[in-house]
A and B are shown apart, each in its own frame.
Chain A
Amino acid sequence: DTAVSQTPKYLVTQMGNDKSIKCEQNLGHDTMYWYKQDSKKFLKIMFSYNNKELIINETVPNRFSPKSPDKAHLNLHINSLELGDSAVYFCASSPSSSTANTEAFFGQGTRLTVV
């Protein structure tokens, strides 16, 4: 059983398209995250979603919108894709964002390539 699973694993699309990446966790965690890892492997948190509370990172363009139908799922929708959006996107979960002393569990990543 994969604890945090995201689909698709690879995504190649043209500039201007809209795409979604799906994430599901079966750990019963309250909090889920989206991270972006750029070509230099630099990792940065984009969003965290703790039950009904969405915490937005102010540096993320509003073309990126997370959607959480329930606490086990957090999808990432991206509008009007740009070349600079090419990266690996990781979903992760942790028991609770208010409990900072717990580690996060990561999915395998979605490699997004915008052409």
Chain B
Amino acid sequence: AQSVAQPEDQVNVAEGNPLTVKCTYSVSGNPYLFWYVQYPNRGLQFLLKYITGDNLVKGSYGFEAEFNKSQTSFHLKKPSALVSDSALYFCAVIPGYSSASKIIFGSGTRLSIRP
């Protein structure tokens, strides 16, 4: 079965430190990979995506993610965390040769940045 895993329910980081939110996937073909962020009582907001090309993609709010095909991972990173980064983060994957309706979301990781 095709799946997306976010192994950490919660990640706690001190402000100013680097952060990583992990995502691994198991899907067929060459996938399209996305990260979304959800603030309290809000809908999901797009952060960044990997479609093809450079494995390191940069997105909104200083976030970046690296596509690693051999490890089937797409970890989200930021060099210096801000308290305002505290939110729920979702990794999402569309399997290769699929339509957008076949998107699979991870279970979400709650990121908490302490001052």
**Cβ contacts under 8 Å, A105 to chain B:** 46
Chain B residues in 8 Å Cβ range of A103: 34, 36, 46, 49
Chain A residues with a Cβ under 8 A of chain B: 4, 31, 33, 40-45, 48, 50, 55, 90, 92, 94, 96-109
Most buried by A among B34, B43, B51, B94: B43
Chain B residue at minimal CB-CB distance from A105: B46
Query: Contact: B88 with A31, CB < 8 Å?
Result: no
Collect the chain A residues with CB atoms within 8 Å of residue B34's CB.
103
Give Cα distance in the complex from A102 to B94, angstroms. Answer: 10
Is B1 an interface residue when CB atoms closer than 8 A count as contact? no
Q: Interface residues, chain B, CB within 8 Å of chain A?
A: 32, 34, 36, 38, 41-46, 49, 51, 88, 90, 94, 98-103, 105, 107-108
- For A44, A45, A100, A104, the residue with the greatest tally of chain B CB atoms inside 10 Å of its CB is A100
A and B contact pairs by CB, cutoff 8 A, 30 listed: A4-B43, A31-B101, A33-B101, A40-B107, A41-B107, A42-B105, A43-B44, A43-B90, A43-B108, A45-B103, A48-B101, A90-B44, A92-B43, A92-B44, A97-B99, A97-B100, A98-B99, A99-B100, A100-B94, A100-B98, A101-B32, A101-B49, A103-B34, A103-B36, A103-B46, A104-B46, A107-B43, A109-B41, A109-B42, A109-B43
| Residues of A with C-beta under 8 A to B43 | 4, 90, 92, 106-109
The CA-CA distance from A50 to B100 in the complex, in Å, is: 10
Q: Are A101 and B51 in contact (CB under 8 A)?
A: yes
Alpha-carbon distance between A41 and B36 when the two chains are bound, in angstroms = 13
Closest beta carbon of chain A to B94's beta carbon, Å? 5
A40 to B6, CA, bound (A): 14
Whether B46 pairs with A43 at a CB distance below 8 angstroms is no
- The residue of chain B having its C-beta at the shortest distance from the C-beta of A42 within the complex is B107
Residues of B with C-beta under 8 A to A104: 44, 46, 100, 103
Whether the Cβ atoms of B100 and A100 lie closer than 8 Å is yes
**B108 to A42, Cβ gap below 8 A?**
yes
